[in-house]
Amino acid sequence: MRDRFSLAVVGAGASGLAAAISAARRGASAVLLERLPRAGRKLLATGGGRCNLLNEALSASAFTSTDPSLVGSVLGRFGPAEIRSLFEGLGLRLQADVSGRVYPVTNQAASVLRVLELETARLKVTIKTGFEVDGIASEAGRFIVRARDGREVEASAVVLAGGGLSYPALGSNGSCLELAAAFGHRVVAPVPSAVPLCVKDRMCHLLQGQRMRVRVEGQIDGRPAGSAEGEFLFTRYGISGTAVLDVSEGLSVALNREGRRDVAVVVDFLPFMTAEEASGEFLRRSAAGWAPGELVTGLLPEKFARVLARGIPAPGRPPVDNKDAQGTRGLAAALKAWKFPVQGTRGWNEAEFTAGGVDASEVRIGTLESRLRPGLYLAGEVLDVQGGRGGFNLGWAWASGFVAGLGG
């Protein structure tokens, strides 16, 4: 016997929970269909377990999409103020850091999930776990959602909120993209985003584990493709750190979706001084009798200095002679623009987000209802909408889920 509801939400992550709460608050009977044994499992891992649930600068300009106007229409209905009000109304006290990243004062993602669970219970939202959706059919104008184990749910409307492909160990498998495609939606090929990069360079091997604060620029076919300043981490496989993650989306698209091969990250290891200032400082030190391997002492980590002392050249440059003006200029130029050719990404297991998804132009502005199938709504990472790190993507999940639930 089928259970009947007004709304069936596929996926009980951030956007799915928001959709179910939104629908139930307006009196609709809602069911959450979750493949895993518990709702919100991926939410528990966000922000390093602290749950960076929002950014105060949340706005349409912080996102890229196949339809940028869609983001503005959603945030116009349910923006950062409404998201804060939602959680504070559930009893969750929030705090923001200097970068505008909003966290619960408990610094625990479990607190965020718990207040959502309590609200779904209060609203009598049904949660069916272990429900792996096998397909969605139409019957007499209603949706029939079928699970692999034979269970069925009937609903007047459906929200696809199953997320993208990042962190598959936490439940993401991209199945909602397949469900959307079955209704005729175009899916922009998903690729890993906010992901470490694979680089074949001796520096990475020799300096693995070394962290630095740098400025980076992504390059595709020799042209700039995003820049960021922040932490940089050498790893055994290449490069990571917040600065690298922040420029990785465009590079991942170029490598994995477009098949480009001339992809690189150019690193400024001395962001606090110009090339002229660095060259002058190196020349003064050299004139004072400093050994070539000591010219960067006090400017760069000692481990980095020791590697430079071994004569490791920058890619495309011969080893520099640091004893004269030409040599110090060469050293400064190398440290201000060290080029790492990128061979690939670390894939879905290490990607924070998914870039790509259902073409955003195929859902209606302001409601997120499918233009192809009335009663079908899409939310969160299922849509081709990407924001930066720091609470933007989770902010989109809450906003899009809540708006989808208003219509579903």
What pLDDT score does 316 carry?
A: 52
Predicted confidence band of residue 318 (pLDDT cuts 50, 70, 90): very low
Distance in angstroms (rounded) separating the CA atoms of residues 142 and 156: 5
Model confidence at 150, pLDDT cuts 50, 70, 90, reads very high
Tally Cβ neighbours within 10 Å of residue 76.
Answer: 13
Task: Give the mean model confidence (pLDDT) for residues 127-156.
Answer: 96
> Which fold does the domain 3-191+356-407 belong to in CATH?
FAD/NAD(P)-binding domain (3.50.50)
Please state, as a whole number, how many other Cβ atoms lie within 10 Å of the Cβ of residue 16.
Answer: 31
- CB contact at 8 A, 391 and 55: yes
Q: Which three-class secondary structure state does DSSP give residue 381?
A: helix
Check whether 401 has a pLDDT greater than 70.
Answer: yes
pLDDT higher than threshold 90 for residue 231:
yes
Position 84, amino acid: R
Which helix (DSSP H) or strand (DSSP E) does residue 199 occupy? strand 197-199
Cβ pair 220, 260 in contact under 8 A: yes
C-alpha distances in angstroms, 13 versus 9, 190, 201, 396? 10, 19, 39, 13
Q: What percent of the chain has pLDDT over 90?
A: 84
Q: How far is Cα 402 from Cα 176, in angstroms, rounded to an integer?
A: 18
DSSP 274-314: -HHHHHHHHHHHHHTT--GGGTTBTTB-HHHHHHHHTTPPP
**Residue written as token pair 């960021």:** 228
Going from N- to C-terminal start, the domains of the chain cover 3-191+356-407, 196-346
Cα–Cα dist 36/47, whole Å: 21
**Cβ atoms 154, 24 nearer than 8 A:** no
Report the alpha-carbon distance of residue 286 to residue 295 in Å, rounded: 7
pLDDT at 310: 77
Please answer whether residues 177 and 358 qualify as being in contact, where contact means their C-beta atoms are separated by less than 8 angstroms.
yes
pLDDT above 70 coverage of the chain, percent: 96
Mean pLDDT of the chain: 93
Least Cα distance to 392 among 61, 12, 41, 77 occurs for 61
DSSP type of residue 273 = S
Q: Is 76 helix (H, G, I), strand (E, B) or coil?
A: helix
Average pLDDT over residues 269-288: 94
